[in-house]
Chain A
Amino acid sequence: MSTIPATRQGHRPVAIVGFSQNHSVRSDSTSNEVEMLLPVIHDVFNRAGLTKDEIGFICSGSTDYLIGGPFSFVTALDAIGVWPPKSESHVEMDGAWALYEAFVRLQEGDLDTALVYGFGKSSLGDLNEIYNLQLDPYTMAPLHPDLVSLAALQARAVIDQGLGTEEDFARIAARSRRDAMTNPYAQIKRDDDVASLMREPYLVSPLRRHCLPPISDGASAIILAAGEKAFELAEHPAWITGIDHRIETHAFGARNLAVSTSTAKAAAIAGVGEGHVDLAELLTPFAHQELIVKAALGLSDSVAINPSGGPLAANPLMSGGLNRLGEAAQAILDGRATRTVAHATGGPLLQQNLVCVLEGA
């Protein structure tokens, strides 16, 4: 029996033992959310060698605002078929936070496994209008800033503070799209050269189209197992040795937008700097955000960032963060890495951040 690495959070070790995602597309016009989830749920059960009857707890992350109807996460349970009834929960957040809740739930000790999933059909509505709803309702939302304009304010702060250049943004986009060419689930796969990307006109200066994520429909799922159960379900479980999330004020005019204090705090608590990092998967949908989060995590230039292509190659809302956890875990499950870092974000301009350290035995 392999040994379980020491963990910094929780008294009961929990590992990711299975991950599945679908192919992100601009608009999945033939499936509803349940139909989009169904193959992902089946696949993740197959990968872990489990059936739904063996799952102790279910937690999902999604937002009803995308579909424009209440309690769409309840309908989504049809993708699992929860009969007899199961213990289940939901967060109106990215699935990465659903995983956090499941991690906490497994600390209780009475259950050994959890299914976590996230899904989002971004194509159903106007994302600028939907995401306006997360802003301060009195001082910001009435102005109707769009997502790109807000990101431009942050990108300018990065440039002004000497933390990055427009060419750096283009290099990040080119690398992401190139890495995505080997990822069957990614949406934007291209071998672009930086010079041609720099010739694109500004959308909102200083941002060009390549600095933005694609709009994606997608879903993903993860299976967690606690203690010795993990070794029954995976040869190389990806143990969660540190996980934490922190939030900053929603009044982003009161923050230094070029620095992510909450990511740095979460990283310190999760123990990112306590060992080498083979690769990091970061939910940084705008190119400049990679520079901010990389610095906050204290990652060196030798760490591979988003080798999957990351959110600049596929950005399914509400499962994009869970995908980062899944990709970082898959490298360990496959035996390609022994220590990886995953990051997820929520709220405007990196307001809230989750950091997770995953380790193989």
Chain B
Amino acid sequence: MIGSFLTALRDGVLIGIKGTGGKVIFPPTEYDPDTAEETSGIVNVGPGAVVTSWGWVSQPLKQHPLAHPFAWALIQPDGADTAMLHVVDAGSESAMATGMRVTATFRPADERIGAMADLVAFVPEEAK
């Protein structure tokens, strides 16, 4: 399942998978974390998404994905029922809010390698 997810990232696409009752789990897992039932049926989600929680980093650490101030966030793509950890490159904390809309930005197609690094950040939707 992780291979399908990372391969889709290489193609610039976010995918989830259907769990119990049709709930779409993102990132996809082999099982539903609530019921332990096997999942099946990959679906495309995003690239538009909603921020469900966030924290503003004014002084990034050297190992962080961005070198300038940014937000860590839980991001739930359109069509998904769960969220994923990633970063929002919003410019300033005042641009951040729970429930704000963001969209995924990917590295150029010829630089993608099928890893999380292919997904650079999420940015506020109006800035795209």
Chain A residues proximal to chain B, CB less than 8 Å: 128-129, 138-140, 142-146, 149-157, 160, 202, 204-207, 248-249, 251-255, 257
How many chain B residues sit at the interface, stated as a range, is 35 or more
A204 contacts B86, C-beta separation under 8 Å: no
A207 contacts B61, C-beta separation under 8 Å: no
Chain B residues proximal to chain A, CB less than 8 Å: 2, 5-6, 25-27, 29, 33, 52-58, 61, 63-65, 72-76, 82-87, 93, 98, 115-117
Nearest-neighbor residue (CB-CB) of A135 within chain B: B85
Total cross-chain contacts (CB, 8 A): 95
- 15 example contacts (A-B, Cβ-Cβ < 8 A) are as follows A138-B5, A143-B87, A144-B61, A144-B65, A153-B73, A153-B74, A156-B55, A160-B98, A202-B58, A249-B29, A252-B85, A253-B26, A253-B75, A253-B82, A254-B25
B116 contacts A204, C-beta separation under 8 Å: no
B85 contacts A253, C-beta separation under 8 Å: yes
Nearest-neighbor residue (CB-CB) of A157 within chain B: B53
Q: Please measure, in the bound complex, the distance between the C-alpha atom of A149 and the C-alpha atom of B74, giving whole angstroms.
A: 11
A253 contacts B74, C-beta separation under 8 Å: yes
Q: Please measure, in the bound complex, the distance between the C-alpha atom of A155 and the C-alpha atom of B54, giving whole angstroms.
A: 9
A205 contacts B56, C-beta separation under 8 Å: yes
B98 contacts A156, C-beta separation under 8 Å: yes
B55 contacts A152, C-beta separation under 8 Å: yes
> Which residues of the other chain, A, contact B63 by a CB distance below 8 angstroms?
128-129, 144, 146
Nearest-neighbor residue (CB-CB) of A205 within chain B: B56
A139 contacts B116, C-beta separation under 8 Å: yes
A139 contacts B84, C-beta separation under 8 Å: yes
Q: Please measure, in the bound complex, the distance between the C-alpha atom of A252 and the C-alpha atom of B75, giving whole angstroms.
A: 12
B33 contacts A249, C-beta separation under 8 Å: yes
Nearest-CB distance from B70 to chain A (Å)? 10
Q: Provided the pairs A149-B57, A202-B56, A207-B55 are in contact, do residues A138 and B65 lie with their beta carbons within 8 angstroms?
A: no
Beyond A146-B61, A160-B98, 18 additional contacts (C-beta under 8 Å) are A129-B63, A139-B27, A139-B116, A142-B117, A143-B86, A143-B87, A143-B116, A144-B65, A153-B55, A153-B74, A153-B85, A156-B55, A204-B56, A249-B33, A252-B85, A253-B74, A253-B76, A253-B85
Q: Please measure, in the bound complex, the distance between the C-alpha atom of A326 and the C-alpha atom of B89, giving whole angstroms.
A: 45
